[in-house]
Amino acid sequence: MDRKKIAVLGAGSWGTALSIVLSQKNYIVNLWSRRSEHAESLEKCRENSKYLPGVNLPKNIFIYSNIIDCIKECDLIVLAVASQGIRETLEKISDHVNKDQIIVNVSKGLENKTLLRISEIVHSFLPKNKYVVLSGPSHAEEVSRGIPTTIVSASKCREAAELVQDVFITPNLRVYTNPDVVGVEIGGSLKNVIALGAGISDGLGFGDNAKAALMTRGIREIARLGLAMGAYASTFSGLTGIGDLIVTCTSMHSRNRRCGILLGEGKSLDEAVSAIGMVVEGVYTTKAAYDLSKKYGVEMPITTEIHNILYQGYSAKESVYNLMLRSKTHEIEEVIEKDIKGW
């Protein structure tokens, strides 16, 4: 493949980690930080000391604080900003993007005010550009250090998905393709909600039994919403469903789990988020997921109780009891109701 020029918009931990991966493949990488002082620090120290300390930035990563200069003549534009900042970023660049530039989103979340997925926001600004979402169980701390990781490149356009697969794949980063953009985006977004719940469980001092139940029932309700929105069921048993859920619910690299632990220990939401010191996507996604469950008429009891904790003032213990004392039901409702007649 020819030597590509790639713009990465967002110099947080994930944007930085992917920039390092791409630079190691000898691509020209332009990394944009929205704060000029942060860009100056990256250029001077060649290390993202706040978001990814201890990892050096190779020389073929060029640092920008001017976003228009950053995307100029690039083949791919990677969106690595927080989900609530996607619209603002697109407003800055949309008039300067040409139709041949492929948009690659690596952010996981939903827009709170509109309930839109990121692909829908991108399409509203750049309807002629090919869109790919990269997602999966992938902590920046591990990817930046070459620890084996597997992710998914999803797009309605197979050619674009496979091109991005080729660009990002390395001996340590395996990339699969998938046509299910809806499922990949919903799985990647809502696993952060369940990870908050897993952290709350840990913070309350509950054990492995409780967390296993939370994760298992959590993927069921994620899939229910995804199917209602047009996703494929199989996506939720893959890397961007159960795979991403496992890593986010069990790892201390996960901001969402760490935030949940603090909530379970009795901290307020503001105190917990402040202690994390970085964007906790699940806090925003919980509200959007709750609103989507009402819009599509999908029962999501775990999401509802986490919403109650974050936004309705419920105590964590109160919400756990609400979940445990729900009306009795079958484990796999649709199988019992549709496939096993007379049971």
DSSP 98-139: -TTSEEEE----B-TTT--BHHHHHHHH-TTS-EEEEESS--
Mean pLDDT of the chain, nearest integer: 93
H-assigned helices in 204-268? 208-228, 244-250, 255-264
Is residue 41 located within the same domain as residue 95? yes
pLDDT, mean of residues 307-313: 94
pLDDT, mean of residues 292-300: 97
Is residue 101 located within the same domain as residue 75? yes
CATH number, position 320: 1.10.1040.10
Give the pLDDT confidence score for residue 334 in this predicted structure: 59
| Final residue of a structural domain among 149, 179, 209 | 179
CATH number, position 65: 3.40.50.720
Is residue 191 located within the same domain as residue 325? yes
Q: Is 188 among the domain residues?
A: yes
What region, left, alpha or beta, does residue 334 occupy, with left being phi > 0 and alpha being psi -120 to 50 degrees?
alpha
Q: Give yes or no for residue 168 having a pLDDT over 60.
A: yes
Query: How many other C-beta atoms are found inside a 10 Å radius of the C-beta of residue 248?
Result: 28
Which residue in the list 25, 130, 191, 211 is annotated as catalytic? 191
Q: Is 337 among the domain residues?
A: no
Q: Give yes or no for residue 233 having a pLDDT over 50.
A: yes
Residues of the chain with pLDDT > 70: what percent? 94
Is residue 105 located within the same domain as residue 199? no
Give the pLDDT confidence score for residue 25 in this predicted structure: 95
Is residue 173 located within the same domain as residue 53? yes
Q: Is 308 among the domain residues?
A: yes
Distance CA 247, CA 208 (A): 15
Give the pLDDT confidence score for residue 3 in this predicted structure: 75
Residue type, 173: L
Q: What are phi and psi of 110, to 5 degrees?
A: -125, 150
Is residue 220 located within the same domain as residue 151? no
Q: Give yes or no for residue 328 having a pLDDT over 90.
A: no
Q: Give yes or no for residue 150 having a pLDDT over 50.
A: yes
Q: Is 166 among the domain residues?
A: yes
pLDDT, mean of residues 111-137: 98
Is residue 187 located within the same domain as residue 202? yes
> 342 pLDDT band (50/70/90 cuts)?
low
Residue range(s) defining the domain that contains residue 214: 182-330
pLDDT, mean of residues 54-78: 96
The torsion defined by the Cα of 248, 253, 257 and 263, in degrees rounded to 10, comes to -170
pLDDT, mean of residues 149-169: 98
Is residue 172 located within the same domain as residue 186? no
Q: Give yes or no for residue 245 having a pLDDT over 50.
A: yes
Give the pLDDT confidence score for residue 1 in this predicted structure: 45
Q: Give the residue, 11 or 332, on which the prediction is more confident.
A: 11
What's the domain count of the chain? Answer: 2
> What are the residues facing 63 on neighbouring strands?
31
Put the strands of the sheet holding 173-178 in their side by side order.
Answer: 61-64, 28-32, 5-9, 76-79, 102-105, 131-135, 149-154, 173-178
Give the pLDDT confidence score for residue 317 in this predicted structure: 85
Q: Give yes or no for residue 153 having a pLDDT over 90.
A: yes
pLDDT, mean of residues 162-169: 98
pLDDT, mean of residues 122-145: 97
Work out the widest C-alpha separation in the chain, in whole angstroms.
Answer: 71
Q: Which residue has the tokens 């939903």?
A: 110
Q: What share of the chain is helix, strand, coil (3-state, %, to 5)?
A: 55, 15, 30
Give the pLDDT confidence score for residue 319 in this predicted structure: 87
Give the pLDDT confidence score for residue 340 in this predicted structure: 53
Distance CA 64, CA 277 (A): 23
Q: Is 341 among the domain residues?
A: no
Residues of the chain with pLDDT > 90: what percent? 89
The verdict on whether 191 is a catalytic residue reads: yes
Is residue 25 located within the same domain as residue 145? yes
Is residue 139 located within the same domain as residue 53? yes
| Final residue of a structural domain among 146, 179, 212 | 179
| Final residue of a structural domain among 153, 179, 205 | 179
> 343 pLDDT band (50/70/90 cuts)?
low
Q: Give yes or no for residue 341 having a pLDDT over 60.
A: no
Is residue 169 located within the same domain as residue 206? no
Q: Give yes or no for residue 2 having a pLDDT over 50.
A: yes
Give the pLDDT confidence score for residue 138 in this predicted structure: 97
Q: Is 336 among the domain residues?
A: no
Residues 6 or more apart whose CB falls under 8 angstroms from that of 308 comprise: 314, 319, 322
Q: Give yes or no for residue 101 having a pLDDT over 90.
A: yes
pLDDT, mean of residues 35-51: 94
Q: Is 117 among the domain residues?
A: yes
Is residue 284 located within the same domain as residue 189? yes
Q: Is 200 among the domain residues?
A: yes
